[in-house]
A and B are shown apart, each in its own frame.
Chain A
Amino acid sequence: DAMVIQNPRYQVTQFGKPVTLSCSQTLNHNVMYWYQQKSSQAPKLLFHYYDKDFNNEADTPDNFQSRRPNTSFCFLDIRSPGLGDAAMYLCATSRDTGTGGNEQFFGPGTRLTVL
């Protein structure tokens, strides 16, 4: 089945210790997104890629970086996690960004705990 896969599902890290979250997709979609979602809040868009064209949201902290080495994979790097970065991180894909193609498909998420 075509899908969006995130690894790991649960990640525990120490304050200040870099961590990388991964996402892969078998949908062959052009667009990949990274969201941060805290409890009872809306998903907050961190980045998105249209193919290899990187788009950083204006209020995404410099502590967050992203890489998309190929169509299928995308990585989220948190260089120095703080306690406030504990959240669910959601990867999503869409075929396109325009009407008719911008339905987003989500992976299961990675829940990050910072000790």
Chain B
Amino acid sequence: GQNIDQPTEMTATEGAIVQINCTYQTSGFNGLFWYQQHAGEAPTFLSYNVLDGLEEKGRFSSFLSRSKGYSYLLLKELQMKDSASYLCAATDSNYQLIWGAGTKLIIKP
């Protein structure tokens, strides 16, 4: 079966760094997305990785290892507004997105 695993909840301190991990098992693989979703709102795109390695975009970076079926989202210089759920979604051989349930990130002052 196809499956995405990510932690349910994480807590971090304002100004710190946090890494949210995601492991995936899909029938084929055509890239991995990270989305941010604030409570009661729609997901917004953060990053897309299809090749191994680290993609950096401002305070956010995303890493992919295809051989390990593993990705992480790294958030630096955390701000209170970063409190949200972070959804990992892998693209299978049919280009369908297989979604994780999201990691709720709580930022404390």
Interface residues of A (CB under 8 A from B): 40-45, 88, 90, 97-99, 102-109, 111
A41 touches B101 (CB 8 A): yes
A-B contact pairs, 11 of them (CB 8 A): A42-B99, A42-B100, A90-B43, A97-B95, A99-B30, A99-B50, A99-B95, A102-B31, A102-B91, A103-B33, A109-B42
Instruction: Report whether over half of chain B's contact residues are helix, strand or loop; otherwise say mixed.
Output: loop
B102 touches A40 (CB 8 A): yes
Known: A42-B102, A104-B45, A109-B41. A98 touches B33 (CB 8 A): no
B42 touches A108 (CB 8 A): yes
Known: A106-B42, A108-B42. A43 touches B99 (CB 8 A): yes
A42 touches B42 (CB 8 A): no
A99 to B32, CA, bound (A): 10
Q: Which of B10-38 contact A (CB under 8 A)?
A: 30-31, 33
A103 to B41, CA, bound (A): 18
Number of B residues with CB within 8 Å of any CB on chain A: 24
A106 touches B104 (CB 8 A): no
Known: A42-B87, A45-B97, A103-B33. A108 touches B102 (CB 8 A): no
Interface residues of B (CB under 8 A from A): 4, 8, 30-31, 33, 40-45, 48, 50, 85, 87, 91, 95-97, 99-102, 104
- Least CB distance from A107 to B in Å reads 6
Chain A residue contacts of B41, Cβ below 8 A = 108-109
Q: Considering only CB atoms, which chain B residue lies closest to A4 in the complex?
A: B42
A98 contacts which of B48, B95, B101 (Cβ < 8 Å)? B95
B43 touches A106 (CB 8 A): yes
A108 to B41, CA, bound (A): 6
A105 touches B45 (CB 8 A): yes
With most chain A CB atoms within 10 A of its CB, the pick from B42, B48, B95, B104 is B42
A57 to B30, CA, bound (A): 20
Chain A residue contacts of B30, Cβ below 8 A = 98-99, 102
Chain A residue contacts of B102, Cβ below 8 A = 40, 42
Known: A42-B4, A42-B87, A99-B31. A106 touches B99 (CB 8 A): no
